[in-house]
Amino acid sequence: QGSELTGPGAGGGDWQKSNGELARICVRKTVMKFIFMSSHLLRFLLALALLPGSQGWRGMASSKSLSSRRSDVVCMSARKRREGESEGLQVAKLPKGCARPKLVVFDLDNTLWTPELYQLKRSPKADKDVWLFEGAKGALHELATDEAWKGTKVAIASRTNKVEWAKHLLEKFEAAPGVAVAELAEYKEIFPGSKRKHFQNLKRASGVPFSEMIFFDDSTMNTNEIETMGVLCVFCPRG
């Protein structure tokens, strides 16, 4: 007396109804998690699709060694697919003839990697103290391996005051097997201050006009400022 039975056989239709609702909630949470994990790469691809141009921007490869290495990685990836091996990263492809920028520029802290370097007390180690975001891994991998991007250069624009730490991590993180992010990113502007100076230096060094650049950053202060220069900016609040 005073107790209440719960579970199958108690409540009948009510129990089935509550379990059906629980199942729907679980499915909805799984779908939302998948959407969240995919949002970084989708944002990257959508921004590129909005760039001006008709048959795509063309340019010279940033370096012969990187171009050759890109070909090697492409061949290795094709061989793995033939042998049934999984590469782990699944990257969506842009449509043929889609316009591509001549310079892709990434911020570092909270855009390519986490945590932000100012939060650390000692020189960080890649994949131990600092990690690349999954979406960043996918974008860097495609830029380093896909021949469709051989006419696009990559750059870094960061305001961190941990300059040497940042350069060290860029040497340690790989965009693709055997290709360090430091090698992929031909231009690096890493110093405190306004990013207008970073982009003025990038334009001067690369010869690429602002209108043919795309910039990824987690700070609206930076994206709003650089947007006024004519650069297409993508706000990445979570990397």
| Average pLDDT over all residues of the chain | 77
Q: At 210, which CATH number?
A: 3.40.50.1000
Domain assignment present for 198:
yes
Task: Confirm whether 182 is domain-assigned.
Answer: yes
Q: Tens digit of pLDDT for each residue in 103-147?
A: 999 999 999 999 999 999 999 999 999 999 999 999 999 999 999
Residue of 107, 146, 217, 218 marked active site: 107
Give catalytic status of residue 72 as yes or no. Answer: no
- Whether 4 is covered by a domain: the verdict is no
Whether residue 135 contacts residue 41, with contact meaning beta carbons closer than 8 Å, is answered with yes
Which of 14, 72, 109, 129 is flagged as catalytic?
109
Asked if residues 99 and 56 have their Cβ atoms less than 8 Å apart, the reply is: yes
Task: Based on the residue annotation, tell me whether 146 is a catalytic residue of this protein.
Answer: no
Find all residues with CB under 8 Å of 153, minimum gap 6, and list them.
59, 62, 102, 103, 104, 186, 187, 206, 208
Q: Is the sign of the CA dihedral 77, 82, 87, 92 positive or negative? A: positive
Task: Kindly tell me if the per-residue pLDDT of 168 is higher than 60.
Answer: yes
Please check the confidence at residue 163 and state whether its pLDDT lies above 50: yes
Give per-residue pLDDT as tens, 30-57: 555 554 555 555 555 555 555 554 334 3
Residue 67 has pLDDT above 60, yes or no: no
Q: Under 8 Å CB-to-CB from 197, ≥6 apart: which residues?
A: 189
Per-residue confidence at 61, pLDDT binned at 50, 70, 90?
Answer: very low
**Is 178 within a domain?**
yes
Residue 2 has pLDDT above 80, yes or no: no
Expressed as residue numbers, the domain containing 140 is 13-235
Residue 227 counted as domain residue? yes
Domain count along the chain:
1
Q: Is residue 32 part of a domain?
A: yes
Q: Looking at the domain assignment, is residue 7 inside a domain?
A: no
